[in-house]
Copies of this chain bind each other. A is one copy, B any other.
Amino acid sequence: VQLSTRLTSALGIEHPIVLAPMALASGGRLAAAVTGAGGLGLIGGGYGDEAWLRHEFEAAAGEDVGCGLITWNLANNPQLLDLVLEYEPVAVMLAFGDPAPFADKIHAAGSRLFCQVNTVREARAAVEAGADVIVAQGGEAGGHGTAARSTFTFVPELADLLTDIAPATPLLAAGGVADGRGIAAALTLGADGVMVGTRFWAAAEALVSPIAQQRAVAASGDDTIRTAAYDIVRNWDWPSDYEMRVLRNSFVDEWLGQEEALRARQDEASRDYRKALAADDFDFANVTVGEAIGQINEILPAADLIRALVTEAADALELRSLRADAARH
């Protein structure tokens, strides 16, 4: 089975499935496994630790992978882009900020610019900036994002926009896509492919504690929530538009709506956080998954996941077609 779309033609890949560049979780081994299985793996460059980036690109050597960076952080550390481009990434994804200052350099290096957007307004700006692929992130997604839009309405509204202003630009649905039904639905809503985070966060190759993974696969989508608390204890200066979707735990529940109080004891809380992380204590440390965690029940290797996703998606599309055929007669 193969799922061909405009995205697979544009990128020369088999399946329209892109690994979300989850900061620190999407390492080189996971990215290479996704590419090796016919998708496209993006390393989660995140805040851009140079040693980490070099290590993960080397771990992916031999496979065509890309890399994602946090745009507002890149604006403060523009040399990171040179480091990433040294490795000739297939694509660079920029998320959470203005991609325009970086587009020319990415294109000049022969790479593709993926722009993740959270509003229609940002999508227009990304097209203007020269985006090769638009990634529509709904608030369902795990990790950082905004609650401005959800995948179910955002994808068709952007598909219509792109038909008008950039008909050759592929659209990826990101946020909430964790199984073959989700892939089939995203294509039905007008996407050319999907960006998958949480399902691969729960892959064997992800740079994630197995203890966190086990806690997550037992959870429902009801158990995730948006919070700024982990950015406070990690001393990351995210613009206030963005929060993280994570699994609720004792720490998240304790500080919900109490961000100012947490900031007031930031130094102590940061020390406690680092201790909790080192001890795999996920009553405190973050389990960074999206709403789709409720559809995920086991940890599998990425190649097995891709095989299952593609088969399920093809089945979902065919089952629906049989129903439509029956209805027409």
Contacts and interface: CB of A to CB of B under 8 A. Distances in A.
Interface of A: 1-5, 119-121, 138-140, 147-154, 156-157, 160, 175-179, 181-182, 184-190, 220-222, 290-292, 294-295, 314, 316-318, 320-328
A328 B138 CA distance: 30
A179 B160 CA distance: 12
A150 to B, nearest CB: 4
A291 B222 contact: no
24 contacts: A4-B323, A120-B220, A120-B221, A120-B222, A138-B152, A139-B150, A147-B147, A149-B221, A152-B176, A152-B177, A153-B178, A156-B179, A156-B181, A156-B182, A181-B189, A182-B189, A184-B188, A185-B186, A188-B188, A188-B320, A314-B324, A320-B320, A321-B321, A321-B322
* Chain A contact residues: helix, strand, loop or mixed: helix
Copies of this protein in the complex = 2
A174 to B, nearest CB: 11
Nearest to A14: B327
Given A5-B323, A185-B189, 12 more contacts: A119-B222, A140-B152, A149-B221, A152-B177, A152-B291, A153-B176, A181-B188, A185-B188, A187-B320, A188-B188, A188-B320, A318-B324
Nearest to A173: B152
Contacts of A184: 188, 320
Given A153-B140, A182-B156, A314-B328, A323 B187 contact: yes
A79 B44 CA distance: 58
A325 B195 CA distance: 23
Nearest to A148: B222
A150 B153 CA distance: 10
Contacts of A147: 147
The residue among A160, A176, A177, A324 with the most chain B CB atoms within 10 A of its own CB is A324
Contacts of A178: 153
Given A147-B147, A152-B140, A295-B156, A321 B327 contact: no
Contact of A149 (B148, B156, B179, B291): B291
A139 B140 CA distance: 10
Given A188-B188, A320-B317, A295 B160 contact: yes
A11 to B, nearest CB: 16
Contacts of A150: 138-140, 150-152, 176, 291
A292 B153 contact: yes
B190 A181 contact: yes
A219 to B, nearest CB: 10
A139 B164 CA distance: 28
A222 B321 contact: no
Nearest to A184: B188
A222 B149 contact: yes
A4 B323 CA distance: 7
A177 B155 CA distance: 12
